[in-house]
A and B are shown apart, each in its own frame.
Chain A
Amino acid sequence: MSDRILMQGNDAIARGLVEAGCAVAASYPGTPASEILSSIDRWRKTGGATMHVEWAVNEKVALEVAYTAAICGLRAAVSMKQVGLNVASDPLLSAAYLGVTAGFLVVSADDPGPHSSQTEQDSRLLAMMAKVPVLDPASPAQARTLAGTGLDLSEAFGVPAMLRPTTRVCHASQDVDAAPFVPPAREVRFVRDPSRWAATPVFRRKLHDRLAEKIAAIAAWPATAPVRHGPDVRAAKAVVASGVAFAHARELFGELGITDRIALYQVIQPYPLHAAVIDHLLESYGEILVLEESAPVIEMQIADRRRVRGRLTGAVPGTGELLPEIVERVLSRFVGISAPEPAAFAQGSERRPTLCPGCAHRSSFYAIRKAAPAGIYPSDIGCYTLGINLGAVDTVLCMGAAISQAAGFDYAHRLSGKRVDIVATIGDSTFYHAGIPPLIDAVVQGARFVLVILDNGTTAMTGNQPTPGTGIGVGGESTVVVDMEGLVRACGVRFCRTANPDRLPEFVALLKEALVHAREQGVAVVIARQPCAMVARAVGGTASGAVVITAECTGCRHCVDRFECPALVFDEATNRVRIDEMTCTGCGVCVHVCPVGAIRPASAGEKRT
């Protein structure tokens, strides 16, 4: 029995932070970073550490809360996905100038592909813009180590540091060694110094000079210098890689048998790249191939266009994830061996994601199309983005934009003298995150639209983290519950009604009422409140509304296409719909959907299809 523990990359990052004496941790959930914070809280309990751990309302707040601990002498960390870093970039860029008095690590998880994100952006570029050092782990085990190294680095130079894992690190799992937890023996100590912590532009200029000096020194810090792997033989060519691209390359070096012909370096700190290593690479090798995700951050810093191959030269594809098949092809070409032509994956019709069986969002979207069939439907980031399958999502831009876009659609159409019904949808977590300022703005500007807040009481997409309306914290402790209706009214909204969307006919009627208000008087808000079906299932509460499909089913596909419940399956052989008992939750909503009444509640013990 091994004493190594299976850890997901996010568990390993969390473990590394708690082992290194992190005292304050904050986050807003987002794939692939979501599991870091809940894991920090689990390790905190395991290690008996005293910490403040919080799901913050958004990434900006999370960064500011954690950063402030780090100017009070306590180690701190904030975690988020890469687009969350956009939200938190304002405090990050300023905090780089002001610095810290204890280690502060910003964990920003990138998603090359992208698998579950709006963009493939590279957080390392934002680190470069902010002038903060960034570390790039290749595996869960290395992510655990570098979490501690990042806090050390931050503390040694008094500057925020970034850890940039990618999806293939966050959501890889590996057997990882664990170190004992060190209880942080630190006293809070905030030294008042307004010329630093509240610096005006004249001081900021000096702080910028200091930051440039720190970055130059970090580019010579031994602990994060690139590492050469394999035998120390003379080679004409070198591969310089970071992150999981390094892991793919290292495995391929062994398989291709090129370990003693080509030098292989792992860059651990892509920015600032170690100055002496740049000189060494350019002095030692005729050709250098850079493998990194997803922007050419290392490649840009080895500034010799004639000898460096990478994304900028077209040797590596300019977009998309560096899958191992791609690394194999790029590497083989660089080394001059024939690359195997990989078998192409069949272009099958890959099943698209869909709202869960029993999900109340499905009812809301169905009702929205019933109430405003010719409407425009701005939406937002969450499970309910999948309302696109139901034809009830027209736009998705970024967190909170459903509300500002709804206002924008209204103003644009009114300028042309056109009237259109606009029904925006936003989840409860997203509303708290970034929906309040645009709602105030829309009310003040007299925008005319209906906003449906899809309130399932949880941040479902990322694994059911609590929202400010849930009333529980990261560790299950009770918190204050924010009153959503009160909040909406305080934004100046005069029509605010709450209903259960699974009561479909009543909900359609309410939406029509809201539309009348919106057309005549301005923003109307409908709160569609029904718990997430996954949460309901987890607590054992299954609905009792089992249904049957009667002989009247004409095979018109209305329920399959417009309601799109995975438990309603069209059977091509019989040209009828049947209920999939593996997935049906018995919510009973589809009874209201069938245009010929062929779906009806089941009697006790009745066969269902």
Chain B
Amino acid sequence: MSAGVGKPPLLRQQIVLSGVGGQGVLFLSRLLAESAIACGFPVLTSETHGMAQRGGVVVSHLKVGGFDSPLVRRGRADLLLVLKEENVVLHREFLADGGVLIVNARVPADPDPRLQVHTVDADALALSAGARHAANLILLGFAIARIGGRTAGGFFCGAEEIRQTLSRRQGVGNSRLAASLSAIDLGIAHGT
């Protein structure tokens, strides 16, 4: 385990990302994992590859802090990000009591006394922004705005760390980077 300088020692955060093949679940989990490393945290993820990527259900597990197993157990996740509304029923049970559910859906998801639920129509926002493949980043921006970054009970990192990771991955000055950054900002604007 790395002893990163300035690492908050007790942070342990378990996140599940859910969608269908082609929505960019994998991209989102790698973006978050690299941001975790940049913040000095050890990180473990588990990804879905193969046939499921052809439009089937795709799930990524992300564990930030000191863990051994790459998988999140049912009832243990702090945060569930759902890019396809129909997956809520499939993956809701990953969340611990009091966990946060963020859903990309046309109409607000049903409230759940056990959970904090936030909904955004990321598909519609992506289409209207002319960036139909950016719903994943819009949802992430929305999530960070809603629950806060680097705060007690919030995300393990803030929007700035995400922006920096995107810049590293996509290269400053790249047109894809500009589109990615505006997708994050669009999500933040709708979550604030």
A residues lining the B interface (CB < 8 Å) = 1-2, 4-6, 8, 31-32, 34, 115-116, 138-139, 168, 171-175, 177, 244, 247-248, 250-252, 323-325, 328, 342-346, 348, 350-356, 383, 385-386, 461-463, 566, 581-583
Residues of A near B49 (CB, < 8 A) are 31-32, 34, 116, 171, 463
Residues of B near A32 (CB, < 8 A) are 49-50
**Given A175-B43, A581-B132; A6-B30 close (CB under 8 Å):** yes
- List 17 additional A-B contacts (Cβ < 8 Å) besides A174-B70, A248-B68, A353-B51: A5-B37, A168-B46, A168-B71, A171-B47, A172-B70, A175-B36, A247-B70, A343-B74, A343-B93, A346-B93, A351-B56, A351-B86, A353-B21, A353-B53, A354-B55, A383-B54, A461-B51
Q: Which of B21, B48, B68 contacts A171 (CB 8 A)?
A: B48
Task: Give the nearest-CB partner of B164 in chain A.
Answer: A1
Establish whether residues B67 and A251, one from each chain, have CB atoms under 8 Å apart when the complex forms.
yes
**Given A4-B2, A171-B48, A344-B93; A351-B70 close (CB under 8 Å):** no
Contact with A along B60-91 (1 / 0, CB 8 A): 00000001111101110000000010100111
29 contacts across the A-B interface (CB closer than 8 A): A2-B4, A2-B40, A4-B2, A6-B37, A6-B43, A32-B49, A32-B50, A115-B52, A116-B51, A116-B52, A168-B70, A171-B47, A173-B29, A174-B42, A247-B70, A248-B68, A251-B68, A251-B69, A323-B71, A346-B90, A351-B55, A351-B56, A353-B56, A354-B54, A356-B54, A383-B51, A385-B51, A581-B132, A582-B132
Chain B interface bracket (under 10, 10 to 19, 20 to 34, 35 or more): 35 or more
Task: Give the nearest-CB partner of B34 in chain A.
Answer: A6
Residues of B near A138 (CB, < 8 A) are 68
The secondary-structure label for the interface of chain B is: mixed
Residues of B near A352 (CB, < 8 A) are 56
Residues of A near B71 (CB, < 8 A) are 168, 248, 323-324
The CA-CA distance from A566 to B38 in the complex, in Å, is 38
Smallest CB–CB gap between B30 and chain A, Å?
7
- Kindly name the residue among B55, B69, B127 whose own CB sees the greatest number of chain A CB atoms within 10 A: B69
Residue B57 CB within 8 A of the other chain: yes
**Given A356-B22, A581-B132; A566-B55 close (CB under 8 Å):** yes
Residues of A near B30 (CB, < 8 A) are 6, 173
Smallest CB–CB gap between A14 and chain B, Å?
16
Smallest CB–CB gap between A433 and chain B, Å?
17
Smallest CB–CB gap between A578 and chain B, Å?
14
Establish whether residues A171 and B69, one from each chain, have CB atoms under 8 Å apart when the complex forms.
no
Residues of B near A356 (CB, < 8 A) are 22, 54-55
Residue B13 CB within 8 A of the other chain: no
Establish whether residues B37 and A342, one from each chain, have CB atoms under 8 Å apart when the complex forms.
no
Establish whether residues A248 and B132, one from each chain, have CB atoms under 8 Å apart when the complex forms.
no
The CA-CA distance from A355 to B54 in the complex, in Å, is 6
Establish whether residues A462 and B50, one from each chain, have CB atoms under 8 Å apart when the complex forms.
yes
Establish whether residues A1 and B20, one from each chain, have CB atoms under 8 Å apart when the complex forms.
no
Residues of A near B92 (CB, < 8 A) are 346
Smallest CB–CB gap between A245 and chain B, Å?
9
Smallest CB–CB gap between B133 and chain A, Å?
9
The CA-CA distance from A1 to B34 in the complex, in Å, is 11
Top 6 A-B residue pairs of the complex, sorted by shortest distance between their CB atoms: A116-B50, A353-B56, A31-B50, A172-B70, A251-B68, A348-B89
The CA-CA distance from A73 to B29 in the complex, in Å, is 41
Establish whether residues A171 and B46, one from each chain, have CB atoms under 8 Å apart when the complex forms.
yes
**Given A350-B57, A461-B50; A173-B33 close (CB under 8 Å):** yes
Smallest CB–CB gap between A6 and chain B, Å?
5
